[in-house]
Structure 1
Amino acid sequence: MKILYIKKKNMYVFVTILIIVILVLIMYSIYLNKAKKTFKRDIFYEGNTNEKIIAFTCNVDWGNEYIPQMLEIFENEEIKITFFITGRWADDNKDLLKEIYSHGHEIGNHGYYHKEYGKLSYEINKNEIEKCDESINNILGIKCKYFAPPSGSYNDNTIRAARDLNYDIIMWSIDTIDWREDSTSEKIISRVLTKANNSGIVLMHPTENTVRALPVIIKSLKEEGYTIGRVSDIIKKASNGSIEN
């Protein structure tokens, strides 16, 4: 009888522990899902507004000779876009960076060097973003809030580093692929216009064919009723910094 009682008691203890473990695992799973969703909300392939607006972004680590022409086009069309600048380029081209900023364009962080951030550790990711942040701040006296990883390469380390430095990660929904040798201005135009959507993000670079394509792209988008703007124009946040739904 005593043995039966002990076995019964042990069974109760086992069941109680099992229930506690299951509850802990369920709570942990809920926490991970919430954390995962929070991470995703810091990575934007497009904006979160349903307005008929498209953001133009230009990643800069080379192509100096085409930037003045791009600025002239945007000035004539009264368009402000987002330029993502590497820190190395900023340090080597202070006057040109100041010229971009003086036209009212938004400046974003593109890392210090044009590396594959998806293969880097947390410490290197953070250092690269921070160094670029410092370079831009020293030249323009501003704090950037958006980070565009070179080649769109990122991993969990990149996400954590960006979050710790109060950056949102910006990707794209429309890729001009203008850096490739076989990308003619006609192909660039087609890639943008066939994928145009509300709150879309267009990725471009300072290239000769991009300069040729821009007037046609801008004219066509405006005729379709689109406004062209910056990343900050398509990402809306509440006063507490959370993403508006």
Structure 2
Amino acid sequence: MMFKTRFLQVLIGFIVVIVGFTAWSFPDTSEETVDTWTEEAEDLQTEESSEAIREQIEEARDEFDEPPVDAVVDDVWKGIPGYNGRVIDVRESYENMKEHERYEEELLVFHDTAPEVTYRDLPPTPFYRANPNKEMVGFVINVAWGNEHLPTILNELNEQDVQATFFLEGSWVRDQPRLARMIQEEGHEIGNHAYSHPDMASLSAEEIKQELENTNEVIEATLNEEPDWFTPPSGSFRHEVVEIAHELDMYTVLWTVDTVDWQNPEPDAMVERVADNIHPGATVLMHPTEPTAEGIGEMIERIQRQDLEIGPISSVMSENRVTGGTSQAPADEEEADEYWSNE
């Protein structure tokens, strides 16, 4: 009897050991347990994927980040406007890519970084061109005559969705208020082209001031607009002209590409001349002439084929990027580190 009892105790102990070993060697494989394992594996994979995406975004900064460029006064080109830089916003770029679970270059988010010096900070100086990094061209259209060609030119600009800066002679605005308003109503920028189309370089300081002020007054009275830009008739000026314009809160602009349309060239030849000489940051001079009326549409197309945008002088000379970020400062490193630590 004692032997039998002892045998049963040993047998039960053995069974307990076997069951315990089995439970240890072969974990629970119930559906709930399998789901838990799957979730843990997916979390680990997501964490590794997130880190890989972040690393690729950080590496992309070496290729795509660009520092801002300060405005300067150049010995040759005189005033050259600044140009915004850009940086990749790592956090926002990651948020864009997170749901795709992979790095995609087209989902990068950029922010602009402003230069310390813009053209507004420079001493009085003429501007011939915009920043050479800016893939944009400005149209300078000087108006003192050529009324019959203005409707055609305005129609072509409208059809091509292009804005320009029309520099208006003061006496012309006085005599042609309807046409002046037509230009403004089409959304174009208005500039000062002096009052009587004089040789500004030969005028006294008082005469220079009078030419500029009289033009501003008639433009403001007719269009309720104050010009920010002045261009001298025939491109003739001396530094004192630039200084007086600056005192009147205007910047002086000239051009780098001349259509020479006043010489009545063949429209095709004029367009070819412009297309051959166009460049990023260019300013193109023209007038309301027959060649320009006939050729401006093709001119616009030829410029745009070179991946250059066209706009008014204020847009071309601004530091804003042609295709850039959101003009916001990027998150600082401390904010970024805090964000990633919570991911």
* Same topology, TM > 0.5: yes
Matched, 1:230 2:312: yes
Residue 255 of structure 2 corresponds to: 172
* Number of equivalences: 202
Answer yes or no: is the 8 Å Cα contact 2:143–2:166 preserved in 1: yes
| Pairing partner for 1:212 from 294, 299, 313 | 294
Query: 1:237 Cα shift?
Result: 5.8
Contact 1:117–1:158 (CA under 8 A) maintained in structure 2? yes
Task: Give the equivalent residue in structure 2 for 1:243.
Answer: none
What is the rounded CA distance, in whole Å, between the counterparts of 1:65 and 1:153 in structure 2? 26
**Residue of structure 2 in register with 1:60 after alignment:** 143
Deviation at 1:217, TM superposition (A): 1.0
| 1:86 paired residue among 155, 169, 183 | 169
Cα shift readout 1:140-178 (whole Å, capped 9, x = no counterpart): 111101000000000122122111111110100000010
Ranges of 4+ aligned residues in structure 1 off by more than 4 Å: 36-39
Q: Conserved in 2, the CA contact under 8 Å of 1:46 and 1:173?
A: yes
Deviations 1:110-129 (A, max 9, x none): 00110100111111011100
RMSD: 1.8
**Aligned mates of 1:219, 1:169 — CA distance in 2:** 28
Q: Deviations over 1:36-86 (max 9, x none)?
A: 9844x6311011362211011100000000000001001111111000000
DSSP 3-state at the match of 2:191: strand
Residue segments in structure 2 that go unaligned for 5+ positions in a row: 1-74, 80-121, 321-343
2:262 maps to a residue whose letter is: W
Establish whether residue 114 from structure 1 lines up as the match of residue 190 from structure 2.
no
Aligned identity (percent) is: 33
| Higher RCO, 1 vs 2 (CA within 8 Å, ≥6 residues apart) | 1
Distance 1:157 1:223 in 2: 39
Q: Which amino acid aligns with 1:146?
A: W
Residue 225 of structure 2: aligned partner: 142
Q: Secondary structure at the match of 2:234?
A: helix
CA contact (8 A) 2:230 2:252 kept: yes
Distance 1:235 1:178 in 2: 24
Q: Secondary structure at the match of 2:138?
A: strand
Structure 2: how far apart are the matches of 1:218 and 1:47? 18
2:126 maps to which of 43, 61, 64: 43
